[in-house]
Structures are given as structure tokens and as C-alpha cells.
Amino acid sequence: MKKYITDIALGLWRLFQGMYITMLNFVRPKFTEQYPENRGEKEYFDRFRALLVMPHDERNHHKCTACGICQTNCPNGTIEVVSRMEADEATGRDKKTLDRYMYDLGSCTFCGLCTHSCPFGAIRWSNEFEHSLFTRSKLHMQLNRPGSSLAPKPAPAPVPAAPAAEPAKKE
């Protein structure tokens, strides 16, 4: 009989605990975030990983040398670097150039190994996080723009000429 009364008291205590939490949430002020309207007002952390991008400058140059380190470090084959050999005008030797940089957003795990391992800083993460589509094929993207090329290396600074020695004065 004692266990029966204890179980009823414990059940009532837990019921009042649940009702107390419900009443607290009932009287708290509500905060509704208007998502589609304030879409551009969100600020994200610098380390937020949403979409892999390859920055290009105003002359359509990028920093990717098609070395393939990012492709090798990708754990699930999300990145495919397609390169070709071209003759270098300056040296006349064959040089590897980037043809296509393919990225599959649908299979990306956002681990960041590709951006950390890139020795040239050619790829980075952007804050574009809305990727809902009706077809999976639209998640396959080419990151380098058509007609883009490797950014030329800056010309070395000219070495100032040594001042000429002054002739000795005759007295």
C-alpha cells in the first residue's frame, strides 16, 4: 500500500513539473525570425563552410596551377582537376594548365581538406548556403570560368644600378 501511494505522489510530482515547464514556455515572449525576408542580413563566421569557390580577378585570372593536391586529399572524390599540357611561351617546355575544375556539391562532406592543402590559396569557402534543387545534376559545378587562365607571376622588382664611382680629383 505504501508503494502505491508513493507511485501516485511521484506521478503527480512529475506531472506538475511538466506543466510548470509548459507554462513557462507559454508566457515567454515569442521570437519569430522572418527567414525569406531577412536572408541577406545574416552574418556568418569566417570559418563557415557552405560552397567551394575559385576566386577570379577582373581579368579572369585564377591562382590554380592544376597540381591536383586538392583532388588527392578529398576523402570521397568530390573534386576532379582536369588538366592539359601546353607549351610555355617563355621557356618552350610543356607546362600543365587547368582545363576544368569540377566540384560535386552533392557528395561534399565540407571537411575543408582541399582548402587547407592548397599551396596557392586558389580555392576557398563562401557563405552561400542555399543549395536546394530539384535535380541532383545541378550540384555538379565547374569552378573555373570559361576562358580563365593562371594569373601571371608579378615581374621581379628592378634591381637599382650601383652608383658609379666618382673619378679621383686631381690637384
Give domain limits for the chain: 1-28, 46-150
| CATH level 2 (architecture), domain 46-150 | 2-Layer Sandwich (3.30)
What tens digit of pLDDT does each residue of 53-104 get? 999 999 888 999 999 999 999 999 999 999 999 888 777 888 888 999 999 9
Give whole-number Cα distances, 100 to 117, 134, 149, 164, in Å: 19, 25, 11, 53
Bridge-based pairing of strands 61-62 and 149-150 is parallel
Confidence of residue 131 (pLDDT cuts 50, 70, 90): confident
Burial code of 63-74, b = ≥16 C-beta within 10 A, e = fewer? bbbbbeebbebb
Q: At which residue does the C-alpha cell 570559418 appear? A: 47
Is pLDDT above 80 for 117? yes
**What pLDDT does residue 155 have?**
64
More confident residue, 167 or 15: 15
**What pLDDT does residue 47 have?**
82
Cβ atoms of 64 and 138 within 8 Å: the answer is no
The model carries a pTM of 0.65
What tens digit of pLDDT does each residue of 31-55 get? 877 777 776 667 778 788 889 999 9
Confidence of residue 166 (pLDDT cuts 50, 70, 90): low
